[in-house]
Amino acid sequence: MYSRNKRSISAIIRKGVWLLTVCAGCNGVAQQENKNLPEVSASEQHTTWKDYGGGPDQSKYFVLDEIDKSNVDQLQVSWMYSTGDDNIYQFNPIVVDTVMYVLAKNNSLVALNAVTGEEIWIHANLRGIARRGINYWESKDRKERRLLFQMNDYLQAIDARTGKSILTFGKNGLVDLKEGLGRDPETIARVQSGTPGKVFENLLLLGSATGEGYVSAPGHLRAYNVVTGELEWTFHTIPQPGEYGYDTWPKDAYKYAGGANTWGEISIDEERGIAYYPLGSPTYDYYGADRIGSNLYGNCILALDARTGERKWHYQLVHHDLWDYDASAAPQLVTVNHDGKRVDAVAVAGKNGFLYAFDRVTGKPLWPIEERPVPASKVPGEQAWPTQPFPTVLPPFARQGMTSKDITPYFLTPEERDSLTNRIDSMQTGFYTPLSQEKETLALPGAVGGAAWGNTASNPDQGMVYVLSIDWPSFYGKLEQHGFVPKEGALLASLPEGGHNLYTKNCQACHGANREGAVGPTLVGLGTRLNFDEFQQVVVAGRGEMPAFQHMDKDALRQLYSFLGADSRGGPFGRESDSSVMPEGPVVGAGGAPGGQELRRAVGMGQGSARLKSGAEVGPPYPEGADAPSVRYYTQGWGLGHAQLISPPWSSITAYDLNKGKIKWRAPIGLDMDAAAEGGKNTGVPRAQRNGMIVTSTGIVFSTAKDGKIYAFDADNGKVLWAGKLPTGTEGIPAMYEVKGRHYLVVTATTPIRWALAEEGKPAKEEAKPQGGYVVFALPQLASRK
């Protein structure tokens, strides 16, 4: 289950006595007694934004007194920093003292003056960098200050003051994240996550994004020394022999099973030294005959000792996941009044639309969670788990089912409405209904619905948790069977693939049969805009309204890239791909540590040897002797392209009062202009993934939306207090900081809006995309609180 390097048990004994008990079955709880822990209220923290998500607890909570409900409508743009390119950035800026760090200018790290926006230094062309954020660490005497980030499946460090690579970190500045996973690194397609992990003391805690296909990489949780880059501990999320949970998988499944990874956000209780990990589903997502069992620690909330990686407790939110219902949103650490006493709790929001709440120390649910029967699978070889956990008190924040009665009142002609009604009526529907080889399946929440990374925030001391969610149904096709030889050797070419078929399966629903765009943008001329490395990053990590297609490996991506008219061997036609073009400004370095791009480009090319010559996504074979089925089933993509087919609201914020176990308010976030042109109001925005919130001590919830605005809600009732217009759409988490008593709100605005920018209620018209960037709001200099 875990291993430790260079740390003895005696070195990690904390204040108090820790007692461990394990209950039988799929959900295990570790009981702890803690004594003499110092009480630190939220009001003594949350005054800086040095971490992704604002701080170790990921609450996105900020203490201030300058901006409140009475004057928030006076916020205005203080300054804006243009990214200088057409890239879509999901980056959460961090601010240390008076320096802001952002990603801009062809994926360069840029240090800015946080008051004026003036460039301090640029480390250029970090192609392949994790897109959502970076980590900051400083020594106790502040003499050493580092930025740590993932790039091309390596971990690297840059001096936060000079912007130059730290070559004493790892091996010549690089730590290979593909090593230490119990697999041949050359067979691992990818491992780095889009989220940056979390710094705790002198450790960087990391999850991973493993891909979603058969025999993908395992989702080990790991901690690295921030000074040396050495691996300090590892936790096996697919248990190995002798580890707790091993019997919830087939024998030796750890040798081939993949996923069960934290690709989302890690939260840390600094005082107790406990890290809380939301874990994703095992792979393959929709058919699990090679992983019969409940599959710990897939789809769990997992509490680990942050110093050692030892398990304290876990709770499995979805057993034997067949719907891709990952947990990825940051667990929220709050203190609540419960049964007459103050309880430190952790609340976890899932893609399945449920919010779960537990005692932060023991793992005991605050309210009962019932195991209820769910539909069985009819697919040969599959054994869906017979029950799933249902919270009994906390209401869901998202809709958990759709029928033809829920079809949108907008956009459709009578003929289209009749056709859609007939189609839905012929599909199998229902919450936790496994996919079928006989019928199409309609799932709500779908693969990208519910809550994901960036979608949770809280007021920790008051026990309030806020969840930003979307209702996006998935229309899955019938499961298709692909045969293969479950040994080393050639796979059976049962399905012709290649770039065209890959495009039809995964891309056509959004980008159109002619590649000119439907609900997604045009892909015509893609090769003049993205080189292969950038294209790969977009597809596997997602961007804008597009979800991540993590099941595609490099061979499939090269075929798809070539089909779209680009040269996958080098750069696209007519465009530089060697990072030799430098941006304007104070460039102090380029490309990260030496070899971090060229070396990785050469490694990983061997993974195609276990694939079909035609490029079918059957994946590599199982290892010799594996007790695995002789066929594999697949579905067509993720069932996307149908975000607006359900009635609004499509996106909402739900405010939970965990002192009472009730929803305090719910409000749509944003307005869809196409629906507004047909008279729609309070619709929320479809396809509104990857947005984030900030909660203030003055009773405001700031939230980004996909309609080109940032909103300020009254935290008490959900009333909109202010809406600030942005030059483009936005995604990612906003940030808040203070310099010399003045407070600033910064929003990353680089995402095109896929409908026309029009006045509310008026017919839409297309407009050119303006230049995006980082938009910083503040009150006017002379404004004072009313």
CATH number of the CATH domain containing 564: 1.10.760.10
The phi, psi pair for 94, rounded to 5°, reads -120, 155
Q: Is 657 within a domain?
A: no
Residue type, 330: A
| Residue 760 pLDDT | 43
| Residue 762 pLDDT | 46
Is the pLDDT score of 368 beyond 80?
A: yes
Most confidently predicted of 363-377, 442-456, 640-654? 363-377
- 217, HSE (Cβ side, Cα atoms, 13 Å): 34
Q: Is 344 within a domain?
A: no
The tally of domains found in the chain comes to 1
- Expressed as residue numbers, the domain containing 543 is 480-576+598-634
Residue type, 721: L
Of the pLDDT bands very low, low, confident and very high (cuts 50, 70, 90), residue 642 is: confident
Question: Residue 424: which H helix or E strand, with range?
Answer: helix 414-426
| Residue 202 pLDDT | 98
Can you name the residues that pair with 742 across neighbouring β-strands? 739
Q: Is 398 within a domain?
A: no
Q: Is 567 within a domain?
A: yes
C-alpha dihedral, 481 to 482 to 488 to 490, nearest 10°: 160
| Among candidate residues 354, 474, 435, 408, the one with its CA nearest the CA of residue 646 | 408
Out of 179-183, 253-257, 365-369, 641-645, least confident range: 641-645
Q: Where are the beta strands (DSSP E) in 350-501?
A: 355-359, 369-373, 387-391, 441-443, 456-459, 464-470, 474-476, 480-483
Q: Is 571 within a domain?
A: yes
Distance between CA atoms of residues 9 and 19, nearest Å: 15
Is the pLDDT score of 335 beyond 60?
A: yes
* Beta-carbon contacts of residue 3 (< 8 Å; ≥ 6 apart): 233, 234, 309
* pTM as predicted: 0.88
Three-class secondary structure assignment of 440-472: CEEECCCCCCECCCCCEEEEHHHCEEEEEEECC
| Residue 614 pLDDT | 30
User: What is the overall mean pLDDT for the chain?
Assistant: 85
State mean pLDDT over 613-627. 66
Q: Is 608 within a domain?
A: yes
Question: Tens digit of pLDDT for each residue in 128-138?
Answer: 999 999 999 99
Tokens of 404: 């033809």
- What does the DSSP 8-state code read for residue 599? H
Question: Tens digit of pLDDT for each residue in 59-109?
Answer: 999 999 999 999 999 999 999 999 999 888 999 999 999 999 999 999 999
Q: Is 593 within a domain?
A: no
Give the percent of the chain with pLDDT over 70. 79
Q: How far is CA 232 from CA 6, 144, 238, 592, 647, in A?
A: 7, 20, 19, 23, 49
Q: Is 744 within a domain?
A: no
